Chains A and B, each alone.
Chain A
Amino acid sequence: MIEITGLHKKFGKNEVLRGIDLDIQSKGIVAILGPNGSGKTTLIKSILGMVIPNRGNISISGNSIKNQWAYRKEIEYLPQIANFPGNLKVKELIHMIKDLHQKPTNDEQLIDLFGLQPFLNKKLSTLSGGTKQKVNIVLTFMFDKPMIILDEPTTGLDPKALIHLKELIQYEKTNGKTILVTSHIMNFVEEVADEIIYLLEGKIYFKGSVDALKKQTKQKNVEHAIATITQNSTHV
């Protein structure tokens, strides 16, 4: 599905990605982890073509994405910070995104699921952070696309919404989709992830299953395993 070779990206003097080689073929849930500033979001935005890499190549389904845009029809993306045009109503925003895609959606079902009806006629600038994130989730999941990229999907969600989100992710997994997710909530990662990619200082430090990670670090849960990886790396 996604093939990345030798990906480099600099923002000014700050080298964010230093040669990422990644091959994600499997269906299922891949978690991208790493400390703040390790390049998770930059990697995701590179895949989406929002950040233009300095070097390296990204291919999706065998085609290079450079200067392409149509491949984004196959990707659902949940951005990290839900920045929406504040003067639009929730309903109008959903309608606009649907209009841009011209594809069947199940937005009504999702609006019910997250209890967004009372907010449909409110302007986005008046919504709370958590509610915005719910709108964000609805916008992401309402289409049926083979690949889903979620950047910090849990931000600001209450426990009930979090349970719904997990169900949603599991449901999409059973539909045979490839799901990339970043998160700092390790319990969440442990629950949903099939595979873990650990980024550190712009490089891939670990790639493998959750069990392999636990085995390698001799820890019982993911949180400690990740902490151990980070510690070891600072010693090196």
Chain B
Amino acid sequence: MFKILKYSFYDLMRSSWSYVYFLFYLALGFVLLFLNNDVSKAVITLMNIIIVLVPLIGTIFGVMYFYNSKEFTELLLAQPIKRSSIFLGQYLGVAFSLTLSLLLGLGIPFVIYGLLESTAIFDFTLLLVNGAFLTLIFTALSFNIALVNENKIKGFGYSILVWLFLAVIYDGLFLMSLIVFEEYPLDTFSLVATLLNPIDLSRTLILLKLDISALLGYTGAVFKNFFGTNQGLIISLFTLILWTFLPVWRLLFKAKRKDF
């Protein structure tokens, strides 16, 4: 598996897209810090961008890479290598190279602007950890979709749809249900609904750590009670791990049964 991982990783490192992604984050980091001039404020702005953009890029990159490496996969399938190693290796290759671009691209400008001396270091780390998780999750989801759909257009369409649903539509439905069922106690419902969407989960987690939860009013208090505690943090991180693990498991399960 590590050999496949190595080859996928090198392959991606040689492609210009990894650098475009890296440079984009680098530029984003510098611009944000230049405009805000305050690390903790920049972290808040950055969060809003990361929460939406990282999943989108993970999704598109995942689908693109999967379809592009079809020949490579077919070549490997005839070699004495376990099927699960082939797919896990490729998945980790993509996910790691994206995560690396994210960590370096954002890490460098923030470190230069004095992140290490500021109090925002914990928030920033949490932000990057969340970004890494979102990359892992959405790359796995897109790999799943690409594996099942031979048709590239369909595969792309479904992946974008999944991203759109989790990043935008889900929130809309969530808010609507909150308004419709206003008269009922919705604390547990909203907690569970947040846990069920990795994007919402990441957003809530960071917002509450940033101590701007007062803006959220009563709901914020409920959330703060849950996510603000260490127990809440552990449960949320555990949920993110579960969100990563399940699609990867399904990917390997499906790959084992597919004909090539």
Binding site for B on A (CB under 8 A): 11, 45, 48-52, 67, 69-73, 77, 79, 83-87, 96-97, 99-101
Contacts and interface: CB of A to CB of B under 8 A. Distances in A.
Contact of A51 (B79, B81, B260): B260
Given A51-B260, A99-B3, A86 B71 contact: yes
Interface string B61-87: 000000001111011111111110000
Interface string B8-37: 000100110000000000000000000000
B79 A97 contact: yes
Contacts of A71: 80
A112 B260 CA distance: 32
18 contacts: A11-B259, A48-B77, A48-B78, A50-B259, A50-B260, A69-B81, A69-B83, A79-B74, A79-B78, A83-B70, A84-B75, A85-B11, A87-B11, A87-B15, A96-B7, A97-B79, A100-B81, A101-B80
| Count class of interface residues, chain B | 20 to 34
Contact of B71 (A51, A52, A84): A84
Contacts of B260: 45, 50-51
Contact of A100 (B3, B11, B69, B83): B3
Contact of A50 (B14, B70, B78, B81): B78
A50 B76 CA distance: 10
A83 B71 contact: yes
Contacts of A100: 3, 76, 79-81
Contact of A72 (B7, B69, B72, B78): B78
B75 A72 contact: no
A87 B14 contact: yes
Nearest to B14: A87
A107 to B, nearest CB: 15
Nearest to A42: B259
Contacts of B76: 100
B80 A72 contact: yes
Contacts of A101: 79-80
A73 B80 contact: yes
Nearest to A9: B259
Given A45-B260, A52-B257, A85-B72, A77 B3 contact: no
Nearest to A140: B78
Contacts of B256: 67
Nearest to B69: A85
Contacts of A50: 74, 77-78, 259-260
A62 B43 CA distance: 62
Contacts of B74: 50, 79, 83
A83 B75 contact: yes
Contacts of B71: 83-86
Interface in B81-112: 81-83
A73 B70 CA distance: 22
Contacts of A51: 259-260
Contacts of B259: 11, 45, 50-52
Contacts of A97: 75, 79
Nearest to B257: A52
A99 B3 CA distance: 8
Given A67-B256, A87-B15, 5 more contacts: A50-B259, A71-B80, A85-B71, A87-B14, A99-B3
B80 A70 contact: yes
A85 B72 CA distance: 5
B80 A69 contact: yes
B78 A85 contact: no
Contacts of B81: 69, 72, 100
A29 to B, nearest CB: 20
3 closest A-B pairs by beta carbon, nearest first, are A72-B80, A83-B71, A85-B72
Interface string B236-260: 0000000000000000000011111
Contacts of B70: 83
Which of B77, B78, B83, B258 has the most A CB atoms < 10 Å from its CB? B78
Nearest to A139: B75
Contacts of A72: 78-81
Contacts of A45: 259-260
Interface string B34-66: 000000000000000000000000000000000
A79 B81 CA distance: 16
Interface string B111-138: 0000000000000000000000000000
A220 to B, nearest CB: 38
A48 B79 CA distance: 9
A206 B88 CA distance: 42
